[in-house]
Amino acid sequence: MNILNDLYISLYSLFLIHLSNFYTVLKINTRGIIPLPNFEKGEYMMTPDQIGFALLYLGVFLLIGKWIRINSKWLQNLFLPSSVIAGFLALILGPQVLGQFFDEGTFWSTGVMTPEISAVWEALPGLLINVVFATLFLGTILPNLKKVWNIGGPQLAFGWTLGWGQYVFGILLTLLVLTPFFGLPPMVGALIEVGFEGGHGTAAGLQGTFEEMDFAEAYDLAIGLATVGILSGVIIGIIMINWGIRKGKTEVIKGADEASATQRQGIIEFENREPAAKMTVRPESIEPLSLHFAIIGLAILVGYLILQGLIWVEAVIFGTDLMTYVPLFPLAMIGGILVQLFFTKLDHASILDRHMVMRIQGLALDILILAAIGTVSLEVIGENIIPFLLLAIVGIGWNVFGFFVLAPRMIPSYWLERAIGDFGQSMGITATGLLLMRVADPEAKSPSFEGFGYKQLVFEPFLGGGLVTALSVPLIFQFGAVPFLIFSFVMLLLGFGVGLFHFGKK
């Protein structure tokens, strides 16, 4: 029996090694979820029960985060999402804070987070960001370019200027300070845009790219910047809105102070509640949620095939491997657009419901934020605290300057209601921008929401987690920081010129 058992273990280990090599060729990252066991040391694969319990743990922390939000007036005034609160709680109760008060190897040395839970959570953001980006355009009506330009153009010009400016000032800071004085690689100059514009999901999606470029610490720095961006974006954004009210700069809203108690708690009043989604197919044929989940999976698969095709074409024609550093999520967004075009042409029954898609996207984003914040490495940030603070200060300073100085001159009407959304997105994630616009224009009386949505159609494929965000780090790594700095400055001037001399004159 021992011989058969040893033979089984040897064959199984060989199978996993070949399977791992296959995944590596296809650029599928399974690190942390199904780690290869080291049989010589007596290690075995993580069990399904351990993975399942780690996922159940997410629900526990989300519920606690929501409970804290409901009972904390301070957090309500910040309009802080429950997932962010839950992420900080998990970080505090994990091995990096609570665990530091106990000896290594004791029961509480990892806090309330077991190593298995941490391993699963570390891998989730890089996977779920594909779901978030694949759903950006699914279930929407893609408008014509003229309407996008007329309504969303001013916000596109302003957001474009902010986004490329983060690259310009980030790279300048790196070339002049971070590289010569702290020895950090030039790719650090892209982290302001990756962390602020892209958010936790984009930073998590680039984790494998950072590792392949021998600078894995960039992941934790980017996650830290994303966290600072969300917090400062909400706090500074609320201050800006109140400033605008006092100075007479707003044209719609009367202020965050008018929000009801239930709105501050994040609860919809009973009389205002609407269905979360529509039933577009009969459950006896297929559950509507299952159908939409399958369509999102198809969009991600289409994006994956596109990425593999680009890798193959680049290798055959140019003999280079730049595309191997590109993560999947921006291509998943393109896959979502292609799937939406397919359904627009052939789906006469309109089985795709945008609200259902948004619920799946929201679930993925909540889990992504919770897992990303809960597993960020405080040690890495502590070791690079001065560069981290400099990046954060420069990023925040540029965005604040853009809001107060550039936005009034680039957006012809409702400038505060419209610019506050772009400011929120440039500081954190799209949800931050939407949250601030909701505070500044709760009844959507201004063109801010429509313009912001149209702007996203052109903006998201490139910045804020799009192709440029995904390619910026590999491009700086491959060709150096100066060429990308020049290109970014040209793009900044393009957005600034169009906003100031075209839309600003209207």
pLDDT band at 259 (very low <50, low <70, confident <90, very high): low
pLDDT at 365 > cutoff 90:
no
Please report the sign of the dihedral spanned by the C-alpha atoms of residue 374, residue 215, residue 184, residue 488.
negative
pLDDT at 194: 87
Q: Determine what percent of the chain is predicted with pLDDT higher than 90.
A: 19
Domain positions in the chain: 1-45, 128-268+278-503
CB 433 within 8 A of CB 424: yes
Quick one: which of 91, 98, 100, 97 has its CA closest to 118? Answer: 91
Average confidence (pLDDT) over 221-226 = 84
pLDDT at 373: 77
pLDDT in tens, 185-209: 888 999 999 888 877 767 777 877 7
Task: Output the CA–CA distances (angstroms, integers) from residue 116 to 49, 59, 70, 350, 497, in the order listed.
Answer: 10, 16, 30, 42, 52
Average confidence (pLDDT) over 321-333 = 74
Quick one: which of 413, 410, 434 has its CA closest to 422? Answer: 434
pLDDT at 29 > cutoff 60:
no
| Angle 53-57-62 from CA coordinates, rounded to 5° | 155
When comparing pLDDT for 6 and 337, which is higher?
A: 337
pTM attached to this predicted model? 0.68
pLDDT at 329: 73
Q: At what angle do helices 145-173 and 448-459 cross, to 10 degrees?
A: 70
Average confidence (pLDDT) over 113-138 = 83
Task: Output the CA–CA distances (angstroms, integers) from residue 268 to 62, 260, 339, 355, in the order listed.
Answer: 18, 10, 33, 16
pLDDT at 175: 94
pLDDT at 441 > cutoff 90:
no
Cα–Cα dist 288/279, whole Å:
6
Cα–Cα dist 499/155, whole Å:
8
Q: Determine what percent of the chain is predicted with pLDDT higher than 70.
A: 80
Retrieve residue 231's tokens: 């917090």
When comparing pLDDT for 239 and 248, which is higher?
A: 239
pLDDT at 169: 95
Average confidence (pLDDT) over 304-313 = 90
DSSP 215-272: -THHHHHHHHHHHHHHHHHHHHHHHHHHHHHHHT--SS---GGG--HHHHHT---GGG
